[in-house]
C-alpha cells in the first residue's frame, strides 16, 4: 500500500508527466467554466467520449449558459438528449440549472460538499467539478480511477460496495496532489481511459509497471472486483401506432418505468409473444381499434436491449378513418407530424418511425 510521502510524490510526478505527454485534447478540458464542465460530466456518466461528444457540442450551441438551459422547456432538453440514454440525467440537469439560476443567481457552488447537494451530482461529479473548475483538492473517483487504483495497489475489495468505496477513497485521499488537484484528477481518469484500459492493457509501456500489483501477478483481468450484475428480464411490448388524418397518437411515459418523460404509443404489454391483437387481453381501446381501424402488422419483431431488460417489441400500424371518433385513454393525444418530430422519443420509437417512412 502507498503510505510513504515520498512514494506519493513520485507517483504524482510520474502520473503528471504521463498525462502531459499523452492526454487527448478534449473540448471540456480547455475551460474552467463550471457550466461547461458540469455539462460534460453529466453527459459522460456511463457514456463513452465518442458517443457523448456530439451531444456536448449540441448542448453548448443550444444552451451556451446555465441561464439558457434554465429557460428551456424540459421537453426540448429531452429531445436534444434523445439517443444518449439514461434520460434522468437530462431531467435532473434541467432541474438543477433552474435551481442554480433561482437560488444562486446563476453561479455554481464552489465546493464538492455543496455541489453534491444538487440533483444529479453524486460524489464523483461534485468532486470533478470542484477540482476542475475551482481547484479544490478532492479526489474524483470514477470507474477509471477505481480500475487504476485497484490494479496498481492491489485493492481487491468490491468497488461497488460501501466498504470498498471507503477503502478506495482512503487511498485516493492519500494520493491527491494538493498543489494541482485538477491535473491530478484529470490524469488519473485519463490514465484509466487510455492506458490502464479494462481489457488487454498494454502494460509494457506503462510508467507504473515497476510498482503495479496487477502486472506483477498478471491479474489485470481480475481487477477491479465488481459485484456481478443481475439477470436480464424479458418483456413483451405490443405497440399500436394510431394514425388519423396524418396525425399520430402518442403518450408521455410518466410511470416509474423505462423512458420516463419520453413519448411512445398506445401500449399493451403481454407475458409472451403474441401473433395477433386478438391474443391480447381485452381492453376498451384495443376493441375500438379493431372495430374502427384498419390494422396492419409491422412484419419485423424488434429486439431492443436495455441494461437489464430485453424488450421483444411488436408494432401494429392502425389507420382510423377521419370520420370515425375514437376514445383514447386520457394520457394519449394526437400530434401532427411536425410535433411528433419534436417530441423526445426512445431510439426504438424514432427508428420505427423512420423505417416506416413517417419521419
Partner DNA sequence: GACGCGTGGCC
Partner DNA sequence: TGGCCAAGCGT
Residues that bind DNA (CB under 7 A): 26, 40-41, 44-51, 83-88, 92, 119-126, 142-144, 147, 161-163, 189-190, 192-193, 198, 226-227, 229-230, 232, 256-260, 304-309, 346-348
Active site residue 278: no
Euclidean distance between CA atoms 233 and 304, whole angstroms: 12
Three-state DSSP at 243 gives strand
* Cell representation of residue 55: 451531444
CB of 357 to DNA, least distance (A): 19
Three-state DSSP class for 154? Answer: coil
CB 206 within 8 A of CB 215: yes
Phi-psi map region of 245: left, alpha, beta (phi>0 left; psi -120 to 50 alpha): left
Angle at Cα 8 formed by Cα 200 and Cα 26, nearest 5°?
Answer: 55
Q: Pick the catalytic residue: 41, 136, 167, 190?
A: 41
Give the integer Cα–Cα distance in Å for 147 and 155: 9
**Cβ distance to DNA smaller for residue 26 or 328:** 26
We find the least distance from the C-beta atom of residue 205 to DNA, in angstroms, to be: 18
Torsion on CA atoms 61, 65, 66, 67, rounded to nearest 10: -110
Least distance to DNA, CB of residue 138, Å: 12
- Residue 187, burial from CB neighbour count under 10 angstroms (0-12, 13-18, 19+): buried
Q: How far apart are the first and last CA of the chain?
A: 58
Tell me the closest approach of the beta carbon of residue 67 to DNA, in angstroms. 21
Alpha-carbon gap, residue 85 to 307, rounded angstroms: 10
Q: 3-state DSSP call for residue 210?
A: coil
Rounded-to-integer distance, Cα 257 and Cα 75, Å:
18
Kindly state the smallest distance separating residue 163's Cβ from DNA, in Å: 6
Closest separation between CB of residue 129 and DNA, Å? Answer: 9
Residues 6+ apart with CB under 8 A from 338: none
Give whichever of 70 and 121 is closer to DNA, judged by the CB atom.
121
Query: How far apart are the C-alpha atoms of 353 and 218, rounded to whole Å?
Result: 50
Residue numbers annotated as active site: 41
Amino acid at each position: 500500500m502507498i503510505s510513504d510521502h515520498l512514494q506519493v510524490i513520485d507517483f504524482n510526478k510520474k502520473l503528471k508527466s504521463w498525462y502531459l505527454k499523452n492526454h487527448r485534447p478534449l473540448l471540456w478540458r480547455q475551460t474552467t467554466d463550471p457550466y461547461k464542465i458540469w455539462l460534460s460530466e453529466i453527459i459522460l456518466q456511463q457514456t463513452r467520449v465518442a458517443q457523448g461528444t456530439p451531444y456536448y457540442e449540441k448542448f453548448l450551441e443550444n444552451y451556451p449558459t446555465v441561464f439558457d438551459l434554465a429557460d428551456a422547456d424540459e421537453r426540448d432538453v429531452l429531445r436534444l438528449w434523445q439517443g444518449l440514454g439514461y434520460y434522468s440525467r437530462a431531467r435532473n440537469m434541467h432541474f438543477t440549472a433552474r435551481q442554480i439560476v433561482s437560488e444562486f443567481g446563476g453561479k455554481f457552488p464552489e465546493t464538492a460538499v455543496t455541489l453534491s447537494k444538487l440533483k444529479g451530482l453524486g460524489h464523483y461529479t461534485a468532486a470533478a467539478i470542484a477540482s476542475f473548475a475551482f481547484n479544490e483538492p478532492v479526489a474524483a473517483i470514477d470507474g477509471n480511477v477505481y480500475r487504476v487504483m485497484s490494479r496498481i495497489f492491489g485493492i481487491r475489495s468490491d468497488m461497488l460496495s460501501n466498504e470498498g468505496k471507503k477503502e478506495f477513497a482512503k487511498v485516493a485521499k492519500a494520493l491527491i496532489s494538493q498543489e494541482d488537484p485538477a491535473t491530478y484528477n484529470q490524469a488519473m481518469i485519463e490514465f484509466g481511459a487510455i492506458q490502464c484500459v479494462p481489457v488487454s492493457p498494454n502494460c509494457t509501456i506503462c510508467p507504473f509497471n515497476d510498482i503495479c500489483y496487477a502486472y506483477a501477478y498478471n491479474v489485470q483481468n481480475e481487477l477491479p472486483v465488481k459485484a456481478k450484475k443481475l439477470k436480464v428480464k424479458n418483456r413483451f411490448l405490443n405497440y399500436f401506432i394510431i394514425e388519423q388524418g396524418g396525425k399520430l397518437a402518442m403518450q408521455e411515459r410518466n410511470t416509474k418505468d423505462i423512458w420516463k418523460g419520453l413519448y411512445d404509443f398506445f401500449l399493451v404489454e403481454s407475458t409472451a409473444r403474441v401473433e395477433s391483437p386478438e391474443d391480447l387481453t381485452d381492453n376498451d381501446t384495443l376493441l375500438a381499434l379493431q372495430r374502427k381501424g384498419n390494422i396492419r402488422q409491422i412484419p419485423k419483431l424488434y429486439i431492443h436491449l436495455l441494461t437489464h431488460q430485453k424488450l421483444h417489441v411488436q408494432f401494429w400500424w392502425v389507420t382510423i378513418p377521419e370520420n370515425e371518433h375514437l376514445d383514447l385513454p386520457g394520457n394519449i393525444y394526437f400530434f401532427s407530424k411536425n410535433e411528433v418530430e419534436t417530441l423526445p422519443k426512445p431510439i426504438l420509437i424514432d427508428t420505427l418511425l423512420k423505417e416506416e417512412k413517417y419521419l
